[in-house]
Amino acid sequence: MNDLDREYLTIEQCVPHSSHWGAFSVRPRAGGVEIAPHPRDPDPSPLLANIPAAVAHRARIARPMIRRGWLDDGPGPDRRRGRDEFVSLAWPRALDLAAAELRRVYAQSGPQGVFGGSYGWASAGRFHDAQSQIHRFLNLAGGYVRSVNSYSSGAASVILPHVVGPQGFVAGNNVSWDELATESALVLAFGGMALKNNDVGGGGTSRHVARGNLRIARERGVEFHLISPLRDDLPAETGAIWHPIRPGTDVALMLGIAHTLMTEGRHDRGFLDRYCVGWPEFAVYLLGHSDGQPKDAAWAGEICGLPADDIVALARRAVGRRTLITCSQSLQRAERGEQPVWMGLVLAAVLGQIGLPGGGFAYALGSTSNTGKPPLAVPLPSLPQGRNSIGDFIPVARIADMLLNPGAGFDYNGRRLTYPDIRLLYWVGGNPFHHHQDLNRLRRAFARPETVIVHDSVWTASARHADIVLPATITLEREDIGGSAGDPLLVAMHRAVPRFAEARDDHEIFAELAERLGLEPAFTEGRSPRAWLAQIYQPTRRALLDRGLDAPDFERFWELGELILPTLPWDGGPLRDFRHNPDAASLPTPSGRIEITAAAITAFGYADCPGHPAWLPPSEAPGSAAAAGYPLWLIANQPATRLHSQLDFGATSQAAKIKGREPVRIHPHDAAARGIRDGDIVRLYNDRGACLAGAVISEALRPGVVQLSTGAWYDPDDPAAENPLCVHGNPNVLTRDIGTSRLAQGCTGQLTPVEIERFDRPVPPIRCFDPPPDRSANRSENPGQTERGG
């Protein structure tokens, strides 16, 4: 037992802590913990109930494990990854091996040979944030190939700066929940604002406010229109009118509405002239003068599967009142995902309400618990990451392409770039075998590097595809500071439980590696984790003092357990200023205006992202030749019962499973046509792969659509097979690994064509939560192996 363990055992009261799904307190209990949501939270997330299982679940990684083939044969490309055995090693030996391998790769290939993009949500906490830790370490070690943008918002984050400004101009910074509740009259929610997404916010939250504000808005008479194939993408209490659109066709609907507005003379010509550029060129397309096809309501209705009359009616309802167009992140996580975001903005411009309170365009409102809330007035603690010595990067979702095609060229945002030749992949705080598309292709890609190192607390599929697996603590096992730019609560995250088995903090692991590489003083700067917390708290405290506010010193903050930070008054952000004075507060686009037609994008010459928003049919859709045999659209969206793949073994996640499988929702018509009954185990498949799931018959989907959320742990029936069946229900065995377009190269995991059938064979067991056996010969002779604290 070390000192920290002893200290923990003397704590008798609840200890404050935080997670991406909310602030909470923990009361240690024999063999586990009890969790209570923060008392300020009006609508705590059910995901909190997943936490207790993490403390001692059998899926936890107990000790450093090395892949047998790597240990026996040394580094090198290896198709045995993901199917090989593991052996445990004592910490010092595992760290020696990892340090020696880093030294070798840096010496032979330089930083261009090391991929440290390491995408992933990891856990809340400003110091132990896994991305900050790995990037600080790799920057000191020599640099690394990084990744840019996110799986959440890959297309939007690239298109928006061209056409209106940084994502923040239209996401969470222009229309607040309060404004929606008090000012909006009509909300056209493209992709909805599903409350399940609002459960989660990077860094945590003390108040989930979406449901309450939607309710207030409804009570005030706001008219909601939900445009989605899924009825529950807006909560029932909004009383929304559901337009069950065909997946992936929102741009056609937006064009149909815009065409109706224009041809009926209801468009705001004054706004388009004063605040926008490129309307005339776009109007030529809208009217069909450039391609012979007017984008009228009848045309749109055919594509979207909605009645043309409803489209005309929707256009007419949207004028003459305060109308807000919202666009969810899911719409842009699909092929040509740039288009719905751009066209949503253009539709709001046609209505002329951008910059007005509660009107205009909001991207991603409700996508996390902290969008649409006032920003903090003071900086949050953060760990300095240092400087990367190289500029090489990939758009984050091109990971498999990069590994499979070293030296190949690719397009990105007007540039021609080259994939680096990666020798060492280092992943901390993410699960690519959850988040990436076409997992069978990813398995082939993971066979290419010479070494893969993963830290995780649990045996994810990504850990199983690594060579060196180092057990990380979970957040309850360490001290940290929790905070998010969209929430006023700073949490002193006290340690709640002792560490599991031999798990160590990522920081400690990197400090040990740094010591072996002669970088320890630079990495730790001589500070313990507690001293780091005190250090990174100082900028927040100084900013509070500068504002003349109460600013407890670190020890006092730690004792108090939390601190309410000041927020800035809501001012509508740069779009409101722009509306007041488009010359003095021009936008950071090339023209200073909203770009309906963007000369810079036209100049790129991308057929898949032309110079103005356009309807570009997906290259693979049910009914198309490319998807012959796969008549259903699969929506692989964010889960309601966990964050991504995290804590899939937790109580909330497990309660929703059907015979241990992830639920897939299917419309009664589609189920009947296939002889599928509620609760049946079914097989979803296409040319890329197949998975099992448990059928839930539901009328909350448009016929022809099935929905299987992401996050069920990948569980191949035969890891040695080329394209194994995932017996658990990970939809990313089915999704397609292509970029949104040559512009953004974002993730396209949201939609894919599939077929589904009843699975009448014996159902294979779920094994993804069972750790791989430890095959070390001397394991029984060496059971202690506890060098905790090193």
Residues in the site for ligand PGD, rule: CB under 6 A? 120-123, 128, 130, 151-152, 333, 428-431, 434-435, 455-458, 460, 472, 506, 636-638, 643-646, 710, 731-732, 735, 747, 749-750
The answer to whether residues 258 and 347 touch, using CB atoms and an 8 Å cutoff, is yes
- DSSP for residue 492: E
* Number of alpha carbons in the 13 Å side-chain half-sphere of residue 313: 8
The answer to whether residues 511 and 68 touch, using CB atoms and an 8 Å cutoff, is no
Starting at the earlier edge strand, list the strands of the sheet with 86-88: 86-88, 65-67, 468-471, 451-456, 424-428, 114-115
Residue (44 or 749) nearer to ligand PGD, CB:
749
Distance CA 415, CA 35 (A): 49
25, β-bridge pairs: 16, 36
Which residues contact residue 235 at a Cβ distance below 8 angstroms, ignoring those fewer than 6 apart?
195, 211, 214
How many C-beta atoms surround the C-beta of residue 699 within 10 A? 11
Residue (441 or 612) nearer to ligand PGD, CB:
441
Main-chain phi, psi angles of 549, to 5 degrees: -100, 165
CB of 207 to ligand PGD, least distance (A): 22
Considering only CA atoms, which of 303, 312, 299 is closest in space to residue 264? 312
Considering only CA atoms, which of 342, 249, 252 is closest in space to residue 297? 252
Residue (551 or 647) nearer to ligand PGD, CB:
647
The answer to whether residues 115 and 453 touch, using CB atoms and an 8 Å cutoff, is no
Catalytic residue from among 70, 121, 558, 570: 121
Q: What is the DSSP string of 414-472?
A: TEEEE----SEEEEES--HHHHSS-HHHHHHHHTSSSEEEEEESB--HHHHT-SEEEEB
Q: Tokens in use for 309?
A: 């009359």
- Active site (annotated) includes residue 285: no
Residue (123 or 139) nearer to ligand PGD, CB:
123
The answer to whether residues 618 and 751 touch, using CB atoms and an 8 Å cutoff, is yes
CB of 442 to ligand PGD, least distance (A): 12
* Number of alpha carbons in the 13 Å side-chain half-sphere of residue 381: 26
Considering only CA atoms, which of 377, 473, 566, 381 is closest in space to residue 8? 473
Query: What is the distance in angstroms between the CA of the first residue and the CA of the last residue of the chain?
Result: 13
Residue (225 or 644) nearer to ligand PGD, CB:
644
Residue (225 or 504) nearer to ligand PGD, CB:
504
Residue (99 or 396) nearer to ligand PGD, CB:
396
CB of 433 to ligand PGD, least distance (A): 9
Residue (162 or 455) nearer to ligand PGD, CB:
455
* Residue 98 identity (one-letter amino acid): A
Q: Tokens in use for 452?
A: 């893969």
- Active site (annotated) includes residue 532: no
Considering only CA atoms, which of 548, 612, 112, 88 is closest in space to residue 342? 612
* Residue 125 identity (one-letter amino acid): G
Beta strands in 504-574 (DSSP E): 562-564
Please work out, in degrees rounded to the nearest 5, the angle formed at the alpha carbon of residue 678 by the alpha carbons of 672 and 681. 100
CB of 290 to ligand PGD, least distance (A): 34
Catalytic residue from among 21, 119, 570, 633: 119
3 state SS of 211? helix
* Residue 634 identity (one-letter amino acid): L
Residue (339 or 353) nearer to ligand PGD, CB:
339
Residue (94 or 283) nearer to ligand PGD, CB:
94
Residues identified as active-site: 119, 121
